[in-house]
Amino acid sequence: MVRHSSFVGVVALALPLLIAGPGSAEAGVWANDALAAGDAVSVAGYWTVGNSAALRRATPLGPENDRPAFTRIAPVVPAGEPGTVAPGHEEGYEPPAESPTTVTLPKTVGKVFFLDHEGKERWCSATSIESGHRNVVATAAHCVHDPADTGKASAKWVFIPGYYGGKAPYGVYVGAQAWTHHDFDTAKDYDKDYAFVNVYNGLRLSSITQVTPAQYAAFTGAKWIQGGLHYTAVSQETGRLGDNVGGQGLRYNARPDAHVYAFGYPAGLHLDGNPQYTGETIKYNYGRLASRYTTTNPATNNAETHIGVLSSWTPGADGSPMLSSYEYGSRLGYIEGVVSFLVDQDGDRRYDLITSAYFDGESAEVYRKADEVATGSPVP
């Protein structure tokens, strides 16, 4: 069994990784992509300027993505020894005096915002996951690599835990480095549809002001140029992601029959055009995992070992964590998958199943690469 302590990385390893070029990879199952590349302030500013107008404009990824039909088959057989990474509490955590008897929502879950290959503002769901440097976000790989643009990471990628109504209660965490499975990065293999993203320390930008080029040049604080306009802001770091909200654990090579809670931001319409969710607040879904595989166009979808749980969630839930052993008091559990597909099984044009790639030893290897990387301050 793999314990968290064995994943603590060495800071000296982080710097070459952070400057690696897009799509670069070494021998192994993983691929890595630089995201903000030293421009974190302008990325945060893009989403927060104008009373967070871009956050409010963004739309969920989907439903134009391929949503295949799935059929249940025999359970996935783990190919290696089961392992876990223990979850971690936020700083100052104190257990409740009495154990809650109803579901409590995790602080770790939020939205990731990014630009797709057409420059459209999009979002998915995601969660903080425990790591040695407390700076890793887990989500679906297609929420990092646009499915329509193979091998290229999405632009202006940020994570906002606890997001609601355009608010960022714990700050904005700009993506620094994305880690995905090589097979997704190069061939969009949805059996490997997961990603672990290193983020900079959280950032709040206040008193955002449009200024002249001369004022911009003289200003020594947080500043950026957007759409030909010059902006300055008062900036405040909010600290490391895991220190603020904690981090979920990881479980891999497990029997795919656990009872799990999925937490995320479903939004938009069912296939028949009927609304059910707004995407403005976190929702949860509970059920028992089962093994699934695609029956339509498998050569394209490459989703032969997915696990799934019954759910009526709609697009926007992509990337949501599926958590086993979830405790109401700590609001922590173990990630056994992240939502990859939303499926209409019975053909009534309403989603009724969410699926995830099965987390195996290769998933853990990709996670370990993210666990090694230190990021630090987003402000030069």
Give the model confidence (pLDDT) of 157-202 as tens digits. 999 999 998 999 999 999 999 999 999 988 888 899 999 999 999 9
Q: How many CB atoms lie within 10 A of CB 298?
A: 13
When comparing pLDDT for 342 and 137, which is higher? 137
Task: Show the tokens assigned to 30.
Answer: 């993983």
* Cα first-last separation, the chain: 40
Quick one: which of 182, 138, 143, 191 has its CA closest to 360? 191
Beta pairing class for 59-60 and 283-288: unpaired
Write b or e for each residue in 200-234: b if 16 or more Cβ atoms lie within 10 A of its Cβ, otherwise e.
bbbbbbeebeeeeeeebeeeeebbbeeeeebbbbe
The top-scoring range by mean pLDDT among 34-38, 203-207, 246-250 is 246-250
Quote the percentage of the chain above a pLDDT of 70: 87
> How high does pLDDT run on average in the chain?
87
- Note the pLDDT of residue 361: 96
Report the distance separating Cα 314 and Cα 266, nearest Å: 5
Q: Which of 138, 96, 97 is nearest to 251 (CA)?
A: 138
Residue 5 banded pLDDT, cuts 50, 70, 90: very low
**Listed residue (359, 320, 277) closest to 105, CA to CA:** 320
Report yes or no on whether pTM surpasses 0.85: yes
- Quick one: how far is CA 371 from the chain centroid? 15
User: What is the predicted pLDDT for the residue at 337?
Assistant: 97
Q: Which contiguous run of DSSP H or E holds residue 17?
A: helix 14-18
